Chain A
């Protein structure tokens, strides 16, 4: 048991899978290639979301600015939030799930390779559909949180909100399919000897993230179905005139939305917990405490959603309960931060670029955590909520936290993924630009929020004193944007003239560093046996440092699943199906029908065909 997907279904030697060309990418079921596709798509979308943010910053650079019209501003801030959360940070984590989880647990692929491809293609379809809305000047414009009843047809008659609802539904399918896959992969596919409490911390945090995804996404799906039924078929879930309740949306949204925050931050926690020990040359401090604090955060994450709603006037009992539960989350979060500091304390710190970003992550995440506690103090939150203070807070956890950690992960793992080392000197320049740009952009938002600047405003009048810090922030944001161009330059330059990456450039502790960079298609010539928490360090202790470069294995007798185009077909079917909701009824009858039934049916048929033919397709 627990070896690889391949042994389950591989009666004969594999056909030579095509290794290059567009078709090989469209049909791939290799977790590493899928990971790379996630990474490239997500990075492009992340840059797009960043570009949207820069436009917003230009608009806010001066009082009563007219650089963007109010509607365009609202579209851009909605798409900035939606993009960064669903199309940027989540799929960037998914890149590492895909590429690294099988390698770290010593497996040859994920449990369901074709489902994995399906997840990626559905994600891409959703991302494209959301962004196509810009072409029609109808990008979503009601905020990433889409508060009812503003999203009802009466107040949002255009296609904007339809694009948003449908885009999120599609992305939900992708996330759920991926979550099932990685949940099963981590449970079932670990190498012999890798007990749960020997898993690398990144695998642990990813595992908890999959559970959060499995429990949180159905909630937003239900909420979005309610909204779709309201918008398309005239139901009244959120229509106050018919005794529907906008508050219902807020509860449903945040029951999803708060765990979503941990979906965005737990994988980065895992990444940092991998990097700090390696570059401190010392094991992770308090492994068990790290596991259980992560799990505790996840459990509590389902009990604090109403802290997003203190201003709704839920009454003192609810306010006090949700305030106290929220404060409680500070304890396991603090435990994590202290254990990270405990990890580097007494170590021998190797100040390589991944370490810079990982340490920057801790420093910035502390600030976001502390402002988080201020929001748990309900009365204080009543002043801070919906102001720039909140914008500062969540950028300190999502950018200072997640993005710094993802960047650390990129510098750490890209040598493994692509076989070349990134430039250390350019990497450090990028770190400092990003660190300074980030703080210039987001720290003054604390001042602005406390001094009365509400968020989601497309402009502000003169006389409220907001000009100065807004201008500083706009300048900082340009620096921040520039730091990502430096990153791209680093990749470009290092790919052309960088050092070739050895199998184990950092003296790593985990299994991915025991195989060549980049890994061969089947990952491990021989499935490793694990008998310790840091298996590669254990091996090096026995065999001596450094280990000889692992040889390329022929792998002729290793069976891999066949490439398949069926996942792509099923994903396109889902795209077509939902596109039918964006096109009007082509026929006059029935007049009340607001969707394009033929397109919906074609999409349904395509998906059904894709899934059925995939089910009966020979797997090897």
Chain B
């Protein structure tokens, strides 16, 4: 070991830190479409500003206090036979100092906090009201202004403020679409509200944030932020959707249409977005063919996924309230997929899923 260059030893000492740095860099390279750190609307931005204030103070305090700790550990390391150190019992001056300084820092955090609490609580004006109904384990969206009902994919017009009025059909859920708005719980016996607007067009993921039973983990949704013309087109299409889109001439889809009745899908689902009949406890399926996701924002809306989901929803989402009467064969599922795929009152969103 005589000839080992000293530099190697020095480098080795830094291995843990370098590893950590490499990890952080690798972690930052990931895409986080559900992140809270890239606000794309006023609500999320106001929240982010407060967050950044707390982060800056936290980092400062962290460095100072952990620094003092580390310095003390290095500087005052003693040996067993060292003389007894000076016996100090405390210092009133220091007690006052380290009570007052944190208090001042807290005031610096409290001011933007209180300001933002009241700003975000203001009633939005000229907003588009969307009623949100939480279900085990999917989301229903109702637009009273247009009389439209849809599920798991909320279209919003770019830039306009959205005023959410939320209630749950069963247990407590929490509505969360991180890039636009923060969380708001959804209760079965009271209306809760939150508002947001969007600054960019795109498809953004959101998710239930309050534990709500076996499938809490797969209770997602999408917010489609669309330019005004595209949004209007969607509204027009959905407003006219009172009947299933006809599938004449497509024998496979026609077979699917038949199966939709005989397999009792019709008992829970409807394609009527404008005036859904009562008692349909499953998600509204109007425009299902054009949605980006199925199974409450969890599976990409491909033919394979849809067929798999129809055949056996319980295998992907155990405990889901979607039960299949009897058995659905592969051929039957393909027919049903053809029928459902044809249910497009407007095309899929033209904006790609947002990737920051």
Contacts and interface: CB of A to CB of B under 8 A. Distances in A.
Interface of A: 69-71, 73-74, 141-143, 147, 149-150, 155, 240, 243-247, 280-283, 285-289, 311-313, 315-316, 319-320, 323-324, 327-328, 330-331, 334-335, 337-339, 341-342, 344-351, 359, 362-363, 366-367, 370-371, 373-374, 376-380, 382-387, 436, 444, 447, 450-454, 456-461, 463-465, 467-469, 472
Given A380-B54, A465-B31, A468-B30, A70 B85 contact: no
B1 interface: no
A247 B187 contact: yes
B217 A458 contact: yes
Nearest to B182: A382
A345 B94 CA distance: 13
A373 B109 CA distance: 9
Contact of B54 (A373, A456, A464, A465): A373
Given A69-B318, A280-B85, A313 B194 contact: yes
21 contacts: A71-B319, A142-B211, A149-B172, A282-B87, A285-B88, A323-B114, A323-B117, A346-B85, A349-B72, A350-B80, A376-B113, A379-B120, A380-B51, A382-B47, A383-B36, A383-B51, A383-B178, A386-B211, A451-B32, A451-B37, A458-B217
A311 B183 contact: yes
A320 B76 contact: no
Interface residues of B, number: 99
B65 A366 contact: yes
B207 A454 contact: yes
Nearest to A288: B90
Interface in B235-265: none
B85 A347 contact: yes
Nearest to B121: A316
B171 A149 contact: yes
A50 B4 CA distance: 43
B118 A316 contact: yes
B329 interface: no
Contacts of B16: 436
B35 A452 contact: yes
Contacts of B319: 70-71
Interface in B209-255: 209-218, 220
A464 B205 contact: yes
Contacts of B86: 282, 346
Interface string B34-61: 1111000000101110110111011001
Contacts of A386: 174, 176, 183, 209-211
B276 to A, nearest CB: 23
Given A323-B113, A379-B120, A312 B192 contact: yes
Contacts, number: 287
A465 B72 contact: no
Those 4 A-B pairs whose CB atoms lie nearest each other, nearest first? A452-B34, A348-B78, A382-B182, A240-B189
Given A313-B185, A331-B102, A341-B72, 15 more contacts: A244-B189, A247-B190, A281-B78, A286-B90, A311-B174, A311-B184, A344-B73, A348-B78, A349-B72, A362-B69, A373-B58, A377-B113, A386-B176, A451-B36, A465-B33
A276 to B, nearest CB: 11
B68 A341 contact: yes
Contacts of B210: 147, 311, 386
B62 interface: yes
A246 B172 contact: yes
Contact of B27 (A149, A289, A359, A469): A469
B102 A383 contact: no
B323 interface: no
A336 B102 CA distance: 12
B77 interface: yes
Instruction: Classify the secondary structure of B's interface with A.
Output: mixed
B28 to A, nearest CB: 8
B82 to A, nearest CB: 5
B66 interface: yes
Contact of B90 (A289, A453, A467): A289
Contacts of B54: 373-374, 377, 380
B170 interface: yes
A149 to B, nearest CB: 6
A383 B47 contact: yes
B355 to A, nearest CB: 9
B36 A450 contact: yes
A281 B81 CA distance: 11
B117 A378 contact: yes
A319 B117 contact: yes
Given A341-B69, A382-B182, A468-B30, A334 B37 contact: no
Nearest to B353: A463
B103 interface: yes
Given A379-B47, A380-B51, A468-B26, A459 B218 contact: yes
B234 to A, nearest CB: 24
A330 B108 CA distance: 14
B269 interface: no
A276 B175 CA distance: 46
B170 A155 contact: yes
Contacts of B61: 370
Contact of A464 (B32, B65, B68, B77): B32
B33 A282 contact: no
B73 A359 contact: yes
A348 B35 contact: no
B47 A385 contact: no
B99 interface: yes
B193 A282 contact: no
B172 A320 contact: no
A150 to B, nearest CB: 4
A366 B57 CA distance: 13
A243 B189 contact: yes
A141 B212 CA distance: 11
Nearest to A385: B183
A285 B90 contact: yes
A472 B89 CA distance: 44
Given A245-B189, A311-B209, A348-B85, A330 B116 contact: no
B77 A351 contact: yes
B188 interface: yes
Given A70-B319, A359-B69, A457-B216, A385 B209 contact: yes
Given A348-B78, A349-B73, A450-B36, A461 B91 contact: no
Contacts of B23: 472
A283 to B, nearest CB: 5
B106 interface: yes
B78 A331 contact: no
Given A142-B211, A370-B62, A373-B58, A345 B205 contact: no
A327 B120 CA distance: 20
Contacts of B190: 247
B335 interface: no
Given A71-B319, A331-B99, A348 B113 contact: no
B322 interface: no
Given A311-B184, A371-B58, A377-B113, A282 B318 contact: no
Contacts of B87: 282-283
B110 interface: yes
B308 interface: no
Contacts of A245: 189
A87 B23 CA distance: 35
B88 A283 contact: yes
Given A315-B121, A385-B183, A465-B32, A320 B114 contact: yes
Nearest to A240: B189
Interface in B108-147: 109-110, 112-114, 116-118, 120-121, 136
B214 A383 contact: no
B84 interface: yes
Contact of A451 (B35, B66, B72): B35
A328 B110 CA distance: 10
B82 A444 contact: no
Nearest to B194: A313
A371 B185 CA distance: 22
B96 to A, nearest CB: 10
